[in-house]
């Protein structure tokens, strides 16, 4: 069989909602929002209780800004309602369940009706298309399948777009490489750190990661930086775009990035209404452009309508570009619960990634270790980072010093830097754990 050529990126047929005006979009949001708050109030006891306690009623939502009068929903609410207390439809109407384990406490369980699954697939398809993927392309899906929304969510979207899906899931990196070489996919869907693992393993096998058939990568599920995008694009000779989402709100595809602008993910605002709040004073809704915590309200979900869900993700809203009516989100700096507070200074792993990747001798493989040395009251941060293969011992010593200085200048924290051998740190299989907190528990 001859290799088919795939159409270039400029010829995509967009959903009508991707091209409507901001005014039309906001009118749609308002009517959908009015429906959703009434629907949630009538069908989910938790929402009725919370709205009543808060002294608001669905009829108070007359314009979009009235949303700020309604109470927030948190992960804790979902945990307390475990397993199905947040569902707004009887169980026989729930076509699928997903759950996230979380590191502490009960899992948060989410459900989808058939229509929810169709909407989800449509939005993932929209995101993939924005990122350059086209019908007829072969898509290697390395997001984990199972209760995690990444695998099946991306799968449904790629199928809905009309792609040939290769459902490899995460892990078994050697096998991934064999299949990439044999099946010749056009696009890969993975977490950024797992794509890095794949590229790294290719190099170990003597395969040039830039020589594969892959042209596009759609990456998400964990924070990543522009520096990491550059690293992956150059190493793999691909275009890498962001996809964002979270299980409580839907899964991947809440927002997706356009390959022609690569300037942050467009939030699909015909299905989700975003807000940014002050993480320290949640009663304050911030203006576009201001940094804070991202909050979402679903506009079309049936099984699990979600009102003002506090994501804990820190970012800002920016005007739409490639899809003008849909606002973009800035890169996620981190999650408020992943923030390291080191001797009074706030720090996120993505800041270290940004700084380290600008130092040519250092690789993107790093971990942050927090300790409190015996008898000391001060916490210590050690950045453990692999050197690049090509670097000499002298090169490493000066790179470590530069990293330490740059962290001091840009973040404001003193830290120790330990440059380790290539391949010595644990590799990602999906969402990578960057922080190792060894401090004694209070």
Q: Which residues bind ligand DLL (CB under 6 A)?
A: 100, 143, 148-150, 220-223, 242-247, 251-252, 311, 313, 332, 335
241 versus 399: smaller Cβ distance to ligand DLL: 241
Rounded least distance, CB 203 to ligand DLL, Å: 25
34 versus 265: smaller Cβ distance to ligand DLL: 265
Site of tokens 């005014």: 23
100 versus 382: smaller Cβ distance to ligand DLL: 100
Tell how far CA 136 is from the center of its chain.
26
Judge residue 355's burial from the number of C-beta atoms within 10 Å of its C-beta, 0-12 exposed, 13-18 middle, 19 or more buried: buried
* Closest to 413 (Cα-Cα) out of 373, 375, 380, 365: 380
113 versus 149: smaller Cβ distance to ligand DLL: 149
Rounded least distance, CB 141 to ligand DLL, Å: 10
Rounded least distance, CB 326 to ligand DLL, Å: 16
Rounded least distance, CB 172 to ligand DLL, Å: 18
Say what angle helices 22-43 and 45-54 make with each other, to 10 degrees. Answer: 100
Beta strands in 202-327 (DSSP E): 216-220, 239-246, 251-257, 265-267, 272-277, 292-298, 309-315, 317-318
Tell how far CA 182 is from the center of its chain.
29
DSSP for 368-413 reads EEEE--TT--S-EEEEEEEEPTT--HHHHHHHHHHHHHHHHHHT--
58 versus 151: smaller Cβ distance to ligand DLL: 151
* Closest to 306 (Cα-Cα) out of 36, 14, 80: 36
Site of tokens 């270039």: 8
Rounded least distance, CB 312 to ligand DLL, Å: 7
105 versus 360: smaller Cβ distance to ligand DLL: 105
Residues 156 and 255: their CA atoms lie apart, in Å, by 16
Secondary structure of residue 259 in the 3-state scheme: coil
Rounded least distance, CB 327 to ligand DLL, Å: 15
Residues 137 and 238: their CA atoms lie apart, in Å, by 15
Rounded least distance, CB 127 to ligand DLL, Å: 9
396 versus 432: smaller Cβ distance to ligand DLL: 432
Tell how far CA 236 is from the center of its chain.
21
Those residues with Cβ within 8 angstroms of residue 37's Cβ, 6 or more apart along the chain or in another chain = 51, 58, 61, 70, 307
54 versus 230: smaller Cβ distance to ligand DLL: 230
Rounded least distance, CB 369 to ligand DLL, Å: 21
331 versus 387: smaller Cβ distance to ligand DLL: 331
Rounded least distance, CB 350 to ligand DLL, Å: 8
155 versus 387: smaller Cβ distance to ligand DLL: 155
Rounded least distance, CB 341 to ligand DLL, Å: 18
Which segments of 192-306 does DSSP mark as H helices, in order?
Answer: 192-204, 226-236
Closest residue to ligand DLL in the complex (CB): 220
Summary count for the chain: helices (H), strands (E): 11, 21
Those residues with Cβ within 8 angstroms of residue 186's Cβ, 6 or more apart along the chain or in another chain = 6, 133, 137, 138, 139, 213, 214, 215, 216
Residues 166 and 179: their CA atoms lie apart, in Å, by 9
Rounded least distance, CB 43 to ligand DLL, Å: 23
137 versus 189: smaller Cβ distance to ligand DLL: 189
Site of tokens 């169980």: 91
């Amino acid at each position: 069989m001859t290799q088919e050529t795939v159409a270039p990126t400029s010829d995509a047929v967009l959903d009508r909602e991707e091209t409507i005006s901001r005014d039309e979009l906001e009118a749609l949001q308002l009517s959908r929002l009015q429906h959703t708050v009434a629907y949630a109030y009538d069908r989910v006891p938790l929402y009725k209780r919370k709205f009543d306690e808060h002294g608001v009623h669905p009829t108070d939502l007359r314009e979009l800004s009235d949303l700020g009068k309604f109470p927030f929903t948190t992960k804790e609410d979902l945990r307390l309602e475990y397993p199905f207390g947040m569902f707004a439809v009887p169980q026989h109407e729930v076509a699928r369940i997903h759950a996230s384990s979380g590191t502490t406490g009960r899992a948060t369980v989410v459900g989808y009706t058939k229509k929810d699954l169709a909407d989800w697939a449509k939005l993932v398809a929209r995101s993939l298309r924005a990122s350059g993927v086209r019908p007829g392309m072969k898509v290697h899906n390395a997001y984990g399948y199972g209760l995690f929304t990444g695998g099946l969510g991306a799968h449904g979207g790629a199928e809905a777009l009309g792609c040939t899906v290769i459902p490899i899931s995460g892990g078994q990196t050697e096998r991934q490489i064999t299949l990439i070489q044999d099946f010749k996919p056009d696009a890969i869907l993975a977490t950024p750190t797992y794509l890095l693992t794949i590229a790294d393993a290719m190099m170990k096998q003597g395969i040039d990661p830039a020589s594969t058939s892959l042209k596009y990568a759609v990456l998400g599920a964990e924070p990543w930086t522009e520096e990491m995008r550059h690293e992956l694009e150059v190493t793999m000779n691909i275009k890498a775009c962001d996809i964002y989402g979270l299980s409580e709100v839907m899964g991947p595809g809440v927002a997706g990035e356009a390959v022609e602008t690569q300037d942050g993910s467009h939030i699909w605002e015909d299905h989700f209404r975003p807000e940014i709040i002050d993480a320290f004073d949640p009663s304050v809704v911030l203006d576009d452009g201001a940094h804070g915590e991202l909050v979402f309200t679903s506009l079309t979900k049936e099984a699990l309508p979600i009102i003002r869900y506090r994501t804990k993700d820190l970012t800002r809203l920016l005007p739409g570009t490639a899809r003008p009516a849909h606002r973009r989100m800035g890169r996620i700096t981190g999650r408020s619960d992943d923030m390291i507070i080191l001797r009074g200074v706030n720090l996120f792993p993505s800041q270290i990634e940004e700084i380290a990747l600008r130092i040519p001798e250092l690789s993107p493989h790093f971990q942050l270790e927090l300790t409190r040395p015996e008898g000391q009251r001060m916490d210590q941060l050690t950045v453990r980072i692999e050197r690049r293969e090509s670097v000499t011992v002298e090169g490493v010593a000066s790179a470590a010093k530069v990293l330490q200085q740059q962290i001091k200048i840009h973040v404001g924290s003193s830290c120790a830097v330990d440059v380790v051998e290539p391949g010595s740190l644990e590799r990602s299989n999906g969402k990578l754990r960057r922080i190792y907190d060894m401090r004694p528990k209070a």
